[in-house]
Amino acid sequence: METEEPKKRMRGSVRRAHITEAALTVFAARGYHATAMEEIATAAGVTRSVLYDHFPSKRVLLITVLQEQNALLVEHIGARITGSGSPGQRLRATLDAYFSFAEHRPMARRLLFDHTDENDPEIKAVRWGIRETRTRAVAVMLARDLSRLGFDAETEIAQAVVELLLSSTDGLAQWWARHPSVPREELVNAAMRVLWNGLSQVTEPDPR
Amino acid sequence: METEEPKKRMRGSVRRAHITEAALTVFAARGYHATAMEEIATAAGVTRSVLYDHFPSKRVLLITVLQEQNALLVEHIGARITGSGSPGQRLRATLDAYFSFAEHRPMARRLLFDHTDENDPEIKAVRWGIRETRTRAVAVMLARDLSRLGFDAETEIAQAVVELLLSSTDGLAQWWARHPSVPREELVNAAMRVLWNGLSQVTEPDPR
DNA sequence: GTCATAACCGACGAGGATGTCGGTTATGGG
DNA sequence: CCCATAACCGACATCCTCGTCGGTTATGAC
């Protein structure tokens, strides 16, 4: 169901790209343990052996895809947040950037953030590194606002607040994947109204 | 490492309870596909065959544990939220109840909400049912506040907001599991300050 | 005490997955 | 045209896990 170029032999790097692409979708759909290398192979239009010509094991294949897609995410986000503007504007821009990524690469989002099942220590380490950089980036972005709220940016509880923001955003993206008809802007607005203004607020426009 | 009663033979129902207890911890720790029945068996101080004397398959063992623990959760939450009081008080009480559950039964929380890997349709259905009842309950609880914010309780976007609340709470609980030294009340306070008051809240409007 | 019940176990069969190895054939440079 | 390289494949060996089956022995009722 992938590239239908009939039986042509590909250059190594190209084949590699096809394999990682296939691995992304299958891993995202089934999870690590439940996916067989066979599935990835057929999805890439190739035999299982070929996977082992390019990657030494299932584990490093996953890790490769993970880091690859995370790099794309970082690039995607970085390309569309300015770093300037009011705190509210920056938060809004970041939310929009993340949802935009979720919209354009739904499988990548799933693979990166939906699963928690892998028990392999090496994989766990990679995942943890990715999460760590995310929380740090957000903590830096919101340092001023957090301290204004009484959370010293270095305390544990400030970290918790960052975690709250990240998980809520992920959760929203997850929900969006099941209700794709909602336009992105509406989603951003909803998130801003809760996270920025709070549930107690009577309808009051948010920073635009 | 479980019951050290030396080699005594147990009554069926008791053994069943021990097995589901063991299954809870192992499933929560490793995930569904990665756990072998052997691990559960030894954790329950018994041989694999005994599991099959009590449960027809690995799948229904998981489902049983899932529903069992969910029932406990519902009971736990229901026992300590009143339904009366101001919306803010109700939200606070619910958050506190959920974190209390996470504190007393960390494995149950993990099993119920951390994993997304199972591909089995039957398991998925059970999970979805659990999630569904949760979101519905929260939607009812916050219906008034949501409409005050401009979210009609029946619209899709209101559902999204509920999802945001749930995932943020789960995320916070997950973080708490990694930082257990923080007292529960502080966690509740942090969650309330963000979700109820919003990040924009200032004691004094920013002069600049 | 004795005896039926039921809790428990060891071993087996079948299926499926990972990773390896040697062979085959397209491809592109000389 | 020729040939070395490398892309590709089929088959195998090994390991692991689920679920089954027949047998053994503790336990509680009588």
Q: What is the DSSP string of chain B?
A: -----TT----HHHHHHHHHHHHHHHHHHH-TTT--HHHHHHHTTS-HHHHHHH-S-HHHHHHHHHHHHHHHHHHHHHHT--S-S-HHHHHHHHHHHHHHHHHH-HHHHHHHHT------HHHHHHHHHHHHHHHHHHHHHHHHHHHHTT--TTSHHHHHHHHHHHHHHHHHHHHHHH-TTS-HHHHHHHHHIIIII-TT--SS----
Q: From the list A87, A149, A182, which residue is nearest B193 (CB)? A: A149
pLDDT of res. A105 = 95
The reply to whether A13 Cβ lies less than 7 angstroms from strand C is no
Burial class (CB in 10 A: 0-12, 13-18, 19+), A130: middle
**Nearest 10 degrees: CA dihedral of B168, A173, B69, B40?**
-110
Specify whether the CB–CB gap between B149 and A191 falls below 8 A.
no
Q: From the list A142, A161, A191, which residue is nearest B164 (CB)? A: A191
How many other C-beta atoms can be found within 10 angstroms of the C-beta atom of residue B21?
Answer: 18
Burial class (CB in 10 A: 0-12, 13-18, 19+), A75: exposed
pLDDT of res. B65 = 93
| Of the listed ranges A32-41, A99-108, A135-144, A177-186, the one predicted with least confidence | A135-144
Determine the average pLDDT of the residues in A150-163: 85
pLDDT of res. B46 = 92
Average pLDDT by consecutive 10-residue portion of chain B (208 residues)? 52 87 93 92 93 93 92 87 79 92 94 78 83 86 80 84 94 94 94 90 46
For the cut 50, the answer to whether the pLDDT of residue A72 exceeds it is yes
Q: How far B10 CA sits from the closest chain A CA (Å)?
A: 33
**A4 CA vs D8 C1’ separation (Å):** 17
Specify whether the CB–CB gap between B73 and B112 falls below 8 A.
yes
Mean residue pLDDT across chain A = 85
Question: Which of B91, B112, B166, B194 would best serve as a mutation to test chain A binding (most A beta carbons within 10 A)?
Answer: B194
Q: What is the DSSP string of B50-67?
A: HHHHH-S-HHHHHHHHHH
Contacts by A149-156, CB closer than 8 A, 24 or more apart: A149/B193, A149/B194, A149/B199, A149/B201, A150/B193, A151/B190, A156/B179, A156/B181, A156/B182
Q: Which chain B residues have a beta carbon less than 8 Å from that of A194?
A: 149, 161, 164-165, 195, 198
pLDDT of res. A3 = 34
pLDDT of res. A7 = 58
Say yes or no for a CB contact (<8 Å) between A176 and B157: no
Q: Which chain B residues have a beta carbon less than 8 Å from that of A34?
A: 33, 117-119
For residue B106, give the nearest of B177, B35, B166 by alpha carbon: B177
A202 confidence band (pLDDT: 50, 70, 90): low
For residue B100, give the nearest of B84, B115, B80, B82 by alpha carbon: B80
**A100 CA vs D13 C1’ separation (Å):** 48
**A20 CA vs D12 C1’ separation (Å):** 27
Q: How far A36 CA sits from the closest chain B CA (Å)?
A: 12
Q: From the list B29, B186, B195, which residue is nearest A199 (CB)? A: B195
**A69 CA vs D4 C1’ separation (Å):** 36
Q: Tokens for B131, please give them.
A: 């999630």
Single-letter residue type at A149: L
Q: Which nucleotide is nearest, taking the CA of residue B47 and each C1'? A: C9
A171 confidence band (pLDDT: 50, 70, 90): very high
pLDDT cut 90: percent of chain A above it: 50
Q: How confident is the model over A94-128, as pLDDT tens digits?
A: 899 999 999 999 999 999 988 766 677 778 788 88
- What are the backbone angles phi and psi of residue B55, rounded to the nearest 5°? -135, 140
Measured at the CA of B166, the angle between CA B20 and CA A87, to 5 degrees, comes to 145
pLDDT cut 70: percent of chain A above it: 91
